[in-house]
Amino acid sequence: MTANARTVLPTDLVALVSYDGRVYSNEAMTADRLGTQDSPHPLETAFEQWFSFATGRHTWISVKGPTLRGLISARKRGSKLAWEVDCLIDAAEDDSGVLMSLLDQVTSAAGRSGALRVFLRLRAGRFAERVATRCEFAPYRRERLYRRALAEGESHTVPEGLRRREKEDVYPLFQLYNATVPAEVRRIEAMTHAEWSAAQEHLGRATHYVIPGDGRVRGWLRVAGDGDIGRFDVLGEREALDGLIEGALAKLSNRETAYTLAPQYDDALCARLEDAGFEGLDEYTVLCRRTVRIVKEAKRVPAVAHTNFA
């Protein structure tokens, strides 16, 4: 009996509950889960699918007889033009066919919904990464997770010029993205303003700040808190990086630990984080797959000749 990937049904409770009791880790990492070791249980994700009007998630499982072989869950990113995989569970003992079927399912569904891209972040070098590349997911960015403990009473100053982001900053931020991100990354991730907006990740309930200067935006900072965990990400010119990191530490001073992801192509950012006391942890690979959008085929119609008589 083969395993097939399909959407979750209430009758799948039998397969989910009668499994061997093991809880497999979530292979997919999203920005709003940085610093947590929690891996969603398949049963939890199944319930989320049935209440998808509230969660916005889409879920598929692979079942062989009464056994759950794998699960994938996805949600939109900044807009409906981009999805990201937020849960990928492989219980098939290195059976690449299960993962490939699940990844194909989510890509097909994303295309039918109008999405242009599906994003996936995985720990570098894992089996799932090798399978995803065979399934037409292109690895385009390597990242390192950085962590820093925030001591009680530690003092940080918000840099001069750092202010809340305003509506007028949106297009200058896209210009900053074009100026600071390598072309080979942008070619896969986002080439237009609409694609860039769609590719924005969820960081949690984030607050946005910018550092303006010389008629442009020189730096962008997002910070979000989750209990004792603080998360942030930065995008900026080299001269603005120190101010962005210091601003993040100041805004997260009421948290115990700060986490951020830094792309390995940005040597300056990685060096500034290490100088600020951040410790490098796991490495991740971000992959992207373009979807196939259904376009109505043009229909041939007979030409009708109209003759006018005087």
pLDDT, tens only, 70-112:
888 899 999 999 999 998 888 776 778 889 999 999 999 999 9
Query: How is domain 145-283 classified at the architecture level of CATH?
Result: 3-Layer(aba) Sandwich (3.40)
pLDDT at site 38: 43
Report the chain's terminal Cα–Cα distance, integer Å. 76
- The predicted structure's pLDDT at residue 227: 87
Comparing 95-104, 110-119, 212-221, the range with the smallest average pLDDT is 95-104
More confident residue, 23 or 213: 213
Q: In terms of Cα–Cα distance, which of 185, 178, 232 is closest to 205? A: 232
In the predicted model, what is the mean pLDDT of the chain?
Answer: 84
Which letter does DSSP use for residue 168 in this model?
A: G
pLDDT above 80 for 137: yes
Q: Do domains 4-143 and 145-283 have the same CATH topology?
A: yes
Distance of CA 193 to the CA centre of its chain: 18
Q: Is pLDDT above 50 for 30? A: yes
pLDDT for the residue numbered 61:
79
Mean pLDDT of 162-173: 95
The domain limits of the chain are: 4-143, 145-283
Mean pLDDT throughout 172-182? 97
pLDDT tens per residue across span 148-163: 999 877 888 898 899 9
Section 13-28 average pLDDT: 61
- With 0-12 / 13-18 / 19 or more C-beta atoms within 10 angstroms meaning exposed / middle / buried, residue 20 is exposed
* DSSP code at position 11: G
Q: Is the pLDDT score of 7 beyond 80?
A: no
Please say if the pLDDT value at position 248 is more than 60.
Answer: yes
Is the model's pLDDT at 53 over the cut of 50? no
**For residue 68, what pLDDT band results from cuts at 50, 70 and 90?**
confident
DSSP 136: T
36 vs 50, higher pLDDT: 36
Is the model more confident about 300 or about 178?
Answer: 178
Q: Does 51 score more than 50 pLDDT?
A: no
pLDDT band at 140; cut points 50, 70, 90: very high
Q: To 5 degrees, how large is the angle CA 46–CA 77–CA 272?
A: 115
Q: What pLDDT does 237 receive?
A: 96
Q: State the fold for domain 4-143.
A: Aminopeptidase (3.40.630)
CA distances 147 to 57, 241, 286, 305, Å, are 29, 17, 19, 73
